[in-house]
């Protein structure tokens, strides 16, 4: 593979020259942003091989299944288009594939195909042979017309049992909340491909939500997580333990967790001990319990000890089933992700509590750890590196990139340098953010002028914005527009108390914290007070829309806003206008609807459309079932005719979060055009967004 040509703009030998902010030439164009949108996901080991999925924005956003050829270390795509290795469990999806080595004929891999949501088996041949199987994948599960198909995730392939065990999500009616989830066993011989009755259910639907099973090293016990409405998994989960007897799960009992204790992952140590991450102290820390016995007759929780007690997070919000923040090694050590505000890779000795961080430029690691022998592989990035697959050899302490290598697509001098920022919000509370100031090797701002800034509100809202290289951010900063990502109260990475700030306060704390960062930038002379904007998607779209209505002291603060696939009407969202996973989320974020109906109405942007005074851009995927288009339609109907310049871009074939290259390109260009018009900046290389009242 040839090295890419690094894009740049002609350099001036005399150094950067003053030019109005927003007018700077940039090699980061919309096509480049779109082509490199997304990141590798779901890394896992199949014997000694590494497998994962990769985004394909140019192929309608499909996810390709990849493997690393062990004989030469090259990455190959296992399945051609249109195979799309992704599922819709919880609508956000969960781990879509798993594999197991075999003595002869190469590994056996199962995966979910997004188009029909069926589970398929794949036998790609002997290790080192071409990844394209001669016969192609064969279906293991039947089609279902209800709910878009039977849905599967977090599989465990058990060739000795002739089954794959996984989470089954099954719709029982047309409403998004008419759904059940259980652990199920699917025959590997394909006998259930046309026969739902051939699928064995391993658990009852006692709990609304479950994660996939984790079997003990001797195969006699299994653990999984479970929780119920109205809790979200970061509020409270239960760790379930069962005996595996004749292919059934018996003696099921709860051994940890509860309504106010969040467990986000559980695994078995090689010696049979039980490991899990819990926030029982206010921080997600790692715990170990002696090998529990489901038949010992002991009710209640098991005794567990913290392995490395710290005011740090060793986990994060469980938005997708199957995420892995830690992974045991065969020698007893444990690979862990940990930190405050971000997660880095470390190797923990559970006997001593000693934690040694991995070397290298990677400052953020995704919850996708895989172990083969003494090697740990994960998906990592940094302020100057995009997401790539990184391997750490625990014997030598050496880390190296093994796949999806970062390459400098533009001169790094055009890329922003993140700066951490902590400001005081209302009542003196700390608010965390990371700043991406404008940066160019060839241009600087006019003397005495401050640049425009855009406040980014992340989605979730129980989530966070990582400080890593993002070409979408660089698209704006390289042109002279600053970006500030705000990890407002309610975000993860700073302990349970910080997360709980948003309880009952959504639309208040998040908006106030974003406003606090914007004002701090202006007060410190870093930003032009008259040229501040706000943007966000999903829950961040909600925060943006609430801010534009002037709620909670934001009136007149922002000159415009970009609102991506938002929540705009709380009452509608709580009444079957979203998916099951988040259908009761508002009970903690706002309050129970039956108790505080007026709060739902008063906080909703659709109720206060008459307060919007500044231009805005609204972008929506027409296939979105999480934040459906009807919310945008309702808001636009309330705004229309009020004289507020705005634009609405709707995209066919897009769901919640844009995946297609043409959509992403159009969206970033439209957003930039909005800012240029509202900030009074002229440039002729961006398609003009038509704003109509």
How far is it, in rounded angstroms, from Cα 675 to Cα 546? Answer: 19
Q: Which pLDDT belongs to residue 15? A: 82
pTM beyond 0.85: yes
Q: Please give the pLDDT value at position 532.
A: 98
For the beta carbon of residue 81, count every other beta carbon within 10 angstroms: 11
**Per-residue confidence at 1, pLDDT binned at 50, 70, 90?**
very low
Residue 583 DSSP symbol: T
Q: How far apart (Å, rounded) are the C-alpha atoms in residues 690 and 135?
A: 51
Q: Does pLDDT of 148 surpass 90?
A: no
Going by pLDDT thresholds of 50, 70 and 90, the confidence category of residue 72 is confident
Residue 2 has pLDDT above 50, yes or no: no
Q: Are 376 and 329 in contact (CB under 8 A)?
A: yes
Confidence grade of residue 297 (pLDDT, cut at 50, 70, 90): low
pLDDT at residue 73, as a whole number: 87
Of 43-52, 150-159, 254-263, 296-305, give the lowest mean pLDDT range. 296-305
- H helix intervals, 494-553: 496-499, 509-523, 539-548
Confidence of residue 10 (pLDDT cuts 50, 70, 90): low
pLDDT tens by residue, 301-316: 889 999 999 999 999 9
Identify the weakest region by mean pLDDT among 467-471, 550-554, 586-590, 653-657. 550-554
DSSP letters spanning 133-160: -SS--EE-S---SGGGS-EEEEEEEETT
Residue 41: is its pLDDT beyond 80?
yes
pLDDT at 3 over 70: no
Looking at residue 70, its pLDDT comes to 81
pLDDT at 131 over 50: no
Between the CA of residue 152 and those of 64, 97, 136, 183, 260, what are the distances in Å? 18, 10, 20, 10, 28
pLDDT tens-digit readout, 459-502: 999 999 999 999 999 999 999 999 999 999 999 999 999 999 99
Ranking 95-104, 130-139, 242-251, 605-614 by mean pLDDT, the lowest is 130-139
Give the C-alpha separation, 417 to 433, whole Å. 14
The candidate with the shortest Cα–Cα distance to 209, out of 79, 319, 354, 132, is 319
Please choose, from the candidates 631, 620, 510, 522, the residue with its C-alpha nearest in 3D space to the C-alpha of residue 565. 620
Q: State percent of the chain over pLDDT 90.
A: 90
Q: What is the pLDDT of residue 4?
A: 53
The mean pLDDT of the chain is: 94
The bridge status of strand 385-393 relative to strand 221-227 is unpaired
- pLDDT tens, position by position, 252-284: 999 999 999 999 999 999 999 999 999 999 999
Residue 64: band (very low, low, confident or very high) from pLDDT cuts 50, 70, 90: very high
Segment 572-582, tens digit of pLDDT: 999 989 999 99
Mean pLDDT, to the nearest integer, of 127-152? Answer: 75
State pLDDT tens for residues 221-240: 999 999 999 999 999 999 99
Site of tokens 């007759």:
297
DSSP state of 33: H
pLDDT-derived band at 12 (thresholds 50, 70, 90) equals low
What token pair was written down for 44? 């896992």
* CA-based nearest residue to 303, from 285, 289, 287, 292: 289
Count, in order, helices (H) and strands (E) of the chain: 10, 40
pLDDT digits (tens, 9 = 90+) for 616-675: 999 999 999 999 999 999 999 999 999 999 999 999 999 999 999 999 999 999 999 999
The one-character DSSP state at 239 is E
Residue 521 has pLDDT above 50, yes or no: yes
Mean pLDDT, residues 438-448: 96
128 has pLDDT over 50: no
pLDDT over 50 (residue 129): no
| Pairing of β 354-357 and β 344-349 | antiparallel
Residue-wise pLDDT tens digits, 472-482 = 999 999 999 99
**Does the pLDDT value for residue 132 go beyond 60?**
no
Tell me how far CA of residue 297 lies from CA of 58, 137, 293, 301, 364, in angstroms. Answer: 56, 45, 8, 12, 43
In the prediction, which pLDDT does 383 show? 95
Q: Is the pLDDT of residue 13 over 80?
A: no
Reported confidence tier of residue 105, pLDDT bands at 50, 70, 90: confident
Q: What is the mean pLDDT of residues 433-460?
A: 97
Flag whether pLDDT at 127 surpasses 60. Answer: no
Q: pLDDT-based confidence at 5, cuts 50/70/90?
A: low
What span, in angstroms and rounded, lies between the C-alpha atoms of 259 and 236? 4
């Amino acid at each position: 593979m040839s090295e890419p040509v690094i894009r740049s703009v002609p350099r001036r030998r005399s150094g950067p020259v003053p030019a109005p902010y927003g007018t700077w030439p940039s090699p980061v164009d919309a096509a480049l942003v779109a082509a490199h949108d997304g990141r590798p996901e779901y890394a896992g080991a199949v014997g000694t091989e590494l497998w994962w999925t990769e985004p394909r924005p140019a192929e309608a956003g499909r996810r390709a299944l990849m493997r690393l050829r062990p004989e030469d270390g090259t990455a190959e795509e296992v399945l051609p288009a249109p195979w799309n290795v992704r599922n819709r469990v919880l609508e956000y999806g969960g781990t879509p594939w798993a594999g197991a080595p075999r003595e002869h004929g190469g590994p056996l891999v199962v995966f979910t195909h997004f188009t029909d949501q069926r589970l398929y088996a794949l036998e790609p041949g002997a290790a080192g042979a071409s990844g394209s199987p001669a016969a192609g994948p064969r279906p293991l599960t039947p089609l279902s017309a209800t709910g878009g198909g039977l849905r599967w995730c977090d599989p465990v392939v058990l060739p000795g049992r002739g089954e794959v065990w996984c989470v089954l999500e099954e719709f029982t009616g047309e409403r998004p909340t008419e759904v059940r989830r259980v652990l199920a066993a699917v025959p590997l011989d394909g006998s259930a491909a046309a026969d739902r009755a051939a699928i064995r259910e391993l658990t009852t639907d006692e709990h609304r939500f479950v994660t996939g099973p984790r079997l003990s090293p001797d195969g006699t016990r299994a653990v999984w997580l479970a929780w119920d409405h109205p809790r979200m998994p970061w509020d409270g989960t239960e760790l379930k333990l069962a005996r595996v007897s004749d292919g059934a799960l018996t003696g099921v009992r709860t051994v940890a967790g509860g309504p106010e204790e969040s467990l986000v992952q559980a695994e078995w140590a090689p010696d049979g001990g039980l490991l899990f991450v819990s926030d029982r102290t206010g921080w997600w820390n790692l715990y170990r319990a002696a090998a529990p016995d489901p038949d010992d007759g002991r009710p209640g929780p098991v005794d567990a000890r913290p392995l490395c007690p710290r005011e740090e997070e060793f986990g994060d919000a469980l938005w997708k089933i199957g995420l892995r923040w830690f992974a045991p090694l065969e020698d007893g050590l444990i690979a862990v992700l940990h930190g405050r505000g971000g997660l880095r890779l470390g190797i923990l000795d559970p006997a001593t509590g000693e934690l040694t961080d991995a070397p290298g430029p990677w400052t953020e690691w995704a919850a996708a750890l895989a172990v083969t022998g003494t090697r740990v592989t994960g998906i990592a990035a940094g302020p100057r590196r995009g997401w790539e697959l990184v391997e750490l050899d625990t014997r030598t302490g050496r880390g190296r990139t093994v796949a999806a290598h970062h390459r400098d697509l533009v001169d790094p001098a055009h890329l922003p340098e993140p700066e951490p920022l902590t400001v005081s919000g209302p009542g003196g509370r700390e608010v965390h953010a990371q700043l991406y100031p404008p940066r160019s090797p060839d241009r600087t701002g006019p003397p005495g002028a401050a640049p425009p800034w855009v406040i980014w509100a992340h989605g979730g809202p129980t989530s966070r914005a990582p400080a890593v290289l993002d070409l979408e951010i660089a698209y704006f900063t390289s042109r002279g527009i600053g970006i500030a990502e705000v990890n407002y109260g309610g975000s993860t990475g700073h302990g349970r108390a910080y997360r709980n700030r948003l309880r009952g306060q959504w639309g208040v704390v998040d908006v106030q914290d974003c406003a606090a960062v914007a004002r701090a930038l202006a007060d410190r002379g870093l930003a032009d007070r008259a040229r501040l904007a706000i943007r966000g998607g999903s829950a961040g779209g909600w925060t943006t829309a609430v801010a534009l209505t002037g709620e909670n002291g934001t009136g007149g603060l922002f000159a415009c806003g970009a609102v991506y696939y938002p929540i705009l009407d709380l009452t509608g969202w709580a009444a079957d206008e979203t998916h099951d996973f988040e259908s009761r989320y508002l009970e903690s974020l706002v309050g129970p609807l039956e108790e505080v109906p007026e709060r739902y109405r008063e906080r909703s942007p659709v109720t206060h459309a008459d307060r919007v005074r500044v231009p805005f851009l609204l972008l929506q995927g027409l296939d979105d079932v999480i934040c459906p288009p009807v919310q945008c339609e309702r808001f636009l109907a309330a705004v229309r005719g009020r004289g507020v310049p705005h634009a609405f871009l709707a995209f066919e074939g897009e769901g919640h979060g844009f995946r297609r290259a043409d959509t992403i390109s159009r969206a970033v260009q439209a957003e930039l055009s909005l800012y240029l018009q509202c900030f009074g900046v002229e440039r002729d290389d961006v398609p003009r967004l038509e704003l109509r009242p």
